[in-house]
Amino acid sequence: MIILHTESSMNFGGQELRICIEMEGLKKYGIDSILACKPNSKIASIAKSKGLKYYELPFSSSFCPISISKIFSIVKKHKVNIINSHNSKDAWNSVLVCKILGIPFVRSRHIALKLRKHYISKMIYTALADRVLVTGEYIEKMLIENGVKSEKIYRIPTGIDIQKFSEQNKDSFKKELGIGNDTFLVGFVSVVRSDKGPHYFVRSIPYALKQIQNVRFVIVGDGNFLNKTKALAEELGLKEYIIFTGHRDDIPSIMRALDVFVLPAIKPEGVPQAVLQAFASGTPVIASDIGGVNEVAIHGKTAILVKPKEPEKLAKAIIQLIHDKNLQLKIVDGGKKLVTEYSLDNMLLKMKYFYENLIKKNEKT
């Protein structure tokens, strides 16, 4: 079986990570994967470093003749069985090829933003997609509300390698930053976009510093909102207290080193991988009470939830969690139990059956 993944984003976040994880992981089930992505995109460089097969396509518009022609050639050359498209432009270019050649088309939806109201925009999910693959319940409900038939939607959250995150050294990252073990380290680990709320994390810091001094804050990641986030930290005079690492590949050791992980998202999303990673690492979580996030971050059981866009309340939650050891132990234990449902092996097995069943259905028709 050959799967062609298409991705027209230039960024690299949870969506793009999911593609790479799936491409690597399904090899053991005899499923080969190919990636079609934009030139100089981050996912192209990651695919190259991992030895994954990929092609660079322009995806300059929703109807790009060069991209359509190249997708057609890739499918014919490699005898692709299914195309799984992950973004808008690449989806519209791919679906035409699928309809011409009679192979199944999957439209994956990783984000929880509402669909455009125009009927034609929705067709890629309704009339044109053979299956719609989502990563969280909130996204599934949103699509149903927008006219996508429930029987067409399959929900398979992204899994994580639990062992990789649970076996890391807890002290190495702090040593690298020059932070002693007696200092609390509170971290934001994510692609740095405005919807993830890094600016609210920064704004919470002055409130937290009024109550506790032996604490440092770290933002791990890169993105289009990084410079604005750095400028805000400078404006608030937080240079002494906050560290920006940029993009890092050693996320498991970083997650393990944090005393508190914070995800102050301001928009709904799919089940966030970073929260699951923190659970597996045994790191207590504070997150926004918002769609997608609160599917796994359950207040008082696996995390502490706060309302989005309220930095003072976020700071209070940080202070509470640092001081309350019993609460830390309770939510860490809850997170470790819940994350077993989101293992990488479970996800890969579900994806195997998903693709196999789709091919069988297509052969019958």
Compute the C-alpha angle 310/219/235, nearest 5°: 65
**pLDDT for the residue numbered 327:** 97
**pLDDT for the residue numbered 348:** 97
Q: Mean pLDDT score of the chain, rounded to an integer? A: 95
Q: Where are the alpha helices (DSSP H) in 102-161?
A: 119-122, 137-145
| Tens of pLDDT, residues 70-126 | 999 999 999 999 999 999 999 999 999 999 999 999 999 998 877 777 778 889 999
- Residue 26: both structure tokens together: 């399904």
**pLDDT for the residue numbered 287:** 98
Taking a C-beta distance cutoff of 8 angstroms, is the pair 132, 270 a contact? no
Can you list the residues of the chain whose pLDDT is less than 50? none
**CA proximity to 88, closest of 114, 67, 61:** 61
**pLDDT for the residue numbered 365:** 67
List domains and CATH numbers for the chain. Answer: 2-159+344-364 (3.40.50.2000), 162-342 (3.40.50.2000)
Q: Is 166 helix (H, G, I), strand (E, B) or coil?
A: helix
| Tens of pLDDT, residues 239-280 | 999 999 999 989 999 999 999 999 999 999 889 999 999 999
